[in-house]
A and B are shown apart, each in its own frame.
Chain A
């Protein structure tokens, strides 16, 4: 309980006001804890701007969203027209719409880069696992938010994309069809679906997102930030208890982030004003046709940011099931033979593997495709426990680790690209290899992350003055 602090009557009006507030609300205390006396490592590089940029894009989406909702009509008969009303009849409506549509894609660009930074520098490692878990929760919520938001314009892509994805839920054994009916609120995607997706997109998920973002930042500030060298700066402190390699977030990183924001806004504005459609990737061409439940477009693809996970879904064909069954069996055998664990665990693994294989033989590949797609996101939650490397940051890992990470990135782009394309034999094969690589990278990480000659991690960060 803070003591009540009396201030001199000669103090300035500003100081008196601040004192009045501080006696009742921890304003100055919060500012010190989280800004002016929050010591962040001084060696942050460009990969460290994406957290603040994510926060900026969240604010952009909320503000533009508020103004769009003033004119949008969440009714299947009126929705498409209301978007064109915003584009044409509402003063500056076109700008607010383009900011929101560009912002949606920008959100994923920024978040993917933000996650990749975590991957590279081991930011998810102990004691930062919870920050990572909240972050994965944010990613999941973001995907839900984007998916539901995309139905709202009620174009052909909106409608059929939603129809396909909701139908995926019906692949779940026993409860699937009823679950899909419950989600849709009708036998096909329709007005009922639109209204509930509107409610979730505008109110429910944004509140969840905000809560998770706050938790994410609080968890981060509790431990302190990681850095490109993966060194814990709190290990070396000066006489005052301040990390030697730490600098106060404010003013150094507030000013640094303001610079990053101005550069981001330049790229963002260039797109909003000169290429809002982005070749059909940000605003898909088919979505300029009002939804028609009787006519499916020739080529449905999810929006670009979902395509890698869509590829994981499509890669699981009945043929692929045999490969996957093989993987499960080999995995179980290796786990039992190589890992030291109590006999009970070994029995559970062996038994579990047999049950899984039986299920894989009994249930359609369609369902396992859904599992693969979901698994592609869920596996990220486990990353802190999959990484067995003795060093955090990629800088001190063997060179071939770096090659592996590079290959992961390239693979992610490849499966992303393939998700935009129609099915073909070659594309299917490449997708299957890509899927195996994606999951192999994570599932085999406990093993490969330990291999190789690691470099000596310094005790102080690498920093050159600039």
Chain B
């Protein structure tokens, strides 16, 4: 049985037809079979339930205070800013890398947190994910104003990341020439009432 192409004569059309037909069908079947396996990588119902939106009661939060809630394993800070702190925000825009939250418009903050310097739905309450946008450490609070070690002399209050020295203001905006490239992330959130915040969801039910 010699199988060299030259000796086998003209190309057998029936073999070629069925070869292509079954090849295509097999490929389609193979991809269809692969779909369930690849999909099984997606977050399971348990992961989705654990990552569900979290309620935060802000009734006890005083002006100048910060509280932390956990959402999807991450710390979310809710800071009740004083009028002075709010007023100070636009004054150091030139020291910030992205004062008006224009970088990565869809990733770092929803559109209700990009409309002005306060980066929040209600100006009083800042809601940000407490993870530095450099490499993921959690910055420390530096709410006291004025000169301090590792901070500029005109420090108006904010956050300082101990890992590589990035600084953020009281709207979570990153200062220029720091390792962190972006402002702190604002998670999707909504007010269920004046005292209840829902972190993780912003759909009107």
Which residues of A are in contact with B by a Cβ distance under 8 Å?
Answer: 36, 39, 63, 67, 70-71, 85, 88-93, 95-96, 240, 242, 246-248, 258
Contact = CB atoms under 8 A, between A and B. Distances in A.
Contacts of A246: 1
Contacts of A67: 37, 40
B48 to A, nearest CB: 9
Nearest to B42: A91
Interface in B34-62: 35-37, 39-42, 44-46
Contact of B44 (A39, A63, A90, A258): A90
B3 A63 contact: no
Given A36-B3, A248-B3, A258-B22, A92 B36 contact: yes
Nearest to A247: B1
A93 B173 CA distance: 43
A63 B1 contact: no
Interface residues of B, number: 15
A91 B3 contact: no
Interface string B1-32: 11100000000000000000010001000000
B44 A96 contact: no
A3 to B, nearest CB: 22
Contact of B46 (A63, A85, A95): A85
Nearest to A85: B46
B40 A92 contact: yes
A96 B36 contact: yes
Contact of A92 (B2, B3, B39, B45): B39
A88 B45 contact: yes
B44 A95 contact: no
B40 A89 contact: no
Contacts of B2: 240
A93 B40 contact: yes
A91 B45 CA distance: 8
A92 B37 CA distance: 7
A91 B44 contact: yes
Given A70-B41, A89-B46, A246-B1, 5 more contacts: A70-B40, A89-B45, A90-B44, A90-B45, A91-B40
Contact of A91 (B1, B22, B39): B39
B40 A248 contact: no
A36 B2 CA distance: 11
A36 B3 CA distance: 9
29 contacts: A36-B3, A63-B37, A67-B37, A67-B40, A70-B41, A71-B40, A85-B46, A89-B45, A90-B40, A90-B44, A90-B45, A91-B36, A91-B40, A91-B44, A92-B35, A92-B37, A92-B39, A92-B40, A93-B40, A95-B36, A96-B36, A96-B37, A96-B40, A240-B2, A246-B1, A248-B1, A248-B3, A258-B22, A258-B26
Q: Which of B1, B26, B42 has most A Cβ within 10 Å?
A: B1
A89 B40 CA distance: 10
A281 to B, nearest CB: 25
Nearest to A89: B45
A258 B23 CA distance: 11
A91 B48 CA distance: 11
Interface in B161-187: none
A306 B132 CA distance: 59
B12 to A, nearest CB: 11
A246 B2 CA distance: 12
Q: Which of B26, B37, B46 has most A Cβ within 10 Å?
A: B37
Nearest to B36: A92
Nearest to B48: A89
Nearest to A37: B3
A195 B42 CA distance: 27
A71 B35 CA distance: 17
Closest 5 CB pairs of A and B: A92-B36, A89-B45, A89-B44, A91-B39, A90-B44
B1 A242 contact: yes
Q: Which of A63, A91, A240, A258 has most B Cβ within 10 Å?
A: A91
Contacts of A88: 45
A248 B4 CA distance: 12
Contacts of B44: 71, 85, 89-91, 93
A380 B36 CA distance: 40
Contacts of B45: 88-90
Contacts of B37: 63, 67, 92, 96
